[in-house]
Structures are given as structure tokens and as C-alpha cells.
Amino acid sequence: MKGTNIGEFEELILLTVAALMEEAYSVGICDEIEQVSGRKVKLGVIHPVLNRLENKGFLISKLGDATKERGGRRKRYYQVTHSGKVTLKNVKVQRDVLWGKIDDMIFDGI
């Protein structure tokens, strides 16, 4: 499973993209992450990560239609690829396995 490790932030982004389905574009992803995690993520942070993920093959992007709000500039919509989904699933599975091993008592009262 070499090369398919993704960082925490990358995982976050991938999940957000999957969640947003058709509406996943850079600004939208920004907003969603802020909403869910409370972190104020800047565009300048997200944009390169999106690019990196696409280079790694976990995302695929395409340009949408021209819209009026952005001065006629098209949005770039991202979707999770098959390998992206596989990676996410793997991560989830890994987490679940670890969680399963933890005794309920440790987290009592949190």
C-alpha cells in the first residue's frame, strides 16, 4: 500500500469532495470544511492540495459551465476517482480496526 498514504488534511478534503458530490469545487470545498470542522481554511491551502491529489490520481477534475458570478470564469469541479474511493475506504477500515481494539472503558465519559 505504498504511495497511497494520504495525510489527515488530504483525507478531509477527499471526504468533503465525496460528500459534496456535484458541487465540489475549490471555494465550495473551503466553505464546507469550515462548516464541518470549524477550521478557517484558506483557498491558498486547499488549491495546491487539490492539485496534488489530482496528480496522485485520487481526484479527477473538469471545467464546468461559465457562470455570471465569477466574471464568466468557469468552475473546476472535482470528483473522487475509484482509487480515491479505495484509499478512503482503506483508511476508514484501518481506523475502524484500531477503534475496535480500544476498550470502551477508556473513552467512558468523553
Partner 1 sequence: MKTNEPHNPPNWANKLLEFYCQSSLLEDLQGDLYEHYTRNISKGKFKADAIYWLDVLKFLRIYTVQKPKILNNMNTFILLLNYWKTSLRSIKRNKLFSAINIVGLAISMSVGLLMITFIDELYSYDDFHSNSDRLYRIIDTYQRTDNDPMDLASTSIFVGKQMEESFSEVEHAVTLRRNFSGDAKFGDKVIPIHGLWSSEKFFKVLSYELIQGNINTVLQTPYSLVLTERTAAKLIGGGEYIGKIIRLNEKDNYTITGIVKNPPKNSHMQFEALASFSTYENTVKDKEKFLSWTSVWMYYVYVILKENTDPKQFQNNLDRLAKSENTKHEHHNVTIKSQAITEIVPSNDLYNNIGPNFGKEPLYRLGLLTLMIIFSAAFNYTNLSIARSIRRSKEVGIRKVIGATRPQVFTQFICESLIISLAAVILSFGLFLFLKPEFLNLDEEIQDVVLLNFRAVHALYFIGSAIVVGVLSGLLPAILLSKIKIISVLQNIGSIKLMSGLPLRKILIVAQFALSMGFIISTFIIYRQYQYSINYDLGFSTKNILNIEVQGNDHEILKSYFEQIPEVKFISKSRIIPSTGDKLVAYGKFKDSTDSALLLYNFIDEHYLQNLRFEIIAGMNFSVKANMEKEAFTIVNETLLKRFAIKSPLDGINESIVLDGIKLKIIGVVSDFHHNNLDNKIEPFLFRYKPEEFHVLNLKVESTDMLGTMTKLSNAWEKADNIHPFKAEFFDSQVQSSYLSYTIMIKVIGFLAFLAISIATFGLLGMAVYVTESRLKEISIRKVLGASENNLIYLLSRGFVFLLVISAVIAIPLTYLIFDQVVLAEVAYRAPIGAFEILSGALIIFIIGIGTIGLQTLSAVTVNPAENLKEE
Contact (CB, 8 A) for 75 and 63: yes
In terms of CB distance, is 7 or 48 closer to partner 1? Answer: 48
In terms of CB distance, is 25 or 58 closer to partner 1? Answer: 25
Tell me the C-alpha distance between 5 and 11, whole Å: 9
Q: Which residues bind partner 1 (CB under 8 A)?
A: 25-27, 43-44, 47-48, 51, 63, 69-71, 73-76
**Nearest-approach distance from CB 59 to partner 1, in angstroms:** 14
Tell me the C-alpha distance between 61 and 97, whole Å: 32
Contact (CB, 8 A) for 78 and 61: yes
In terms of CB distance, is 42 or 101 closer to partner 1? Answer: 42
**Nearest-approach distance from CB 72 to partner 1, in angstroms:** 8
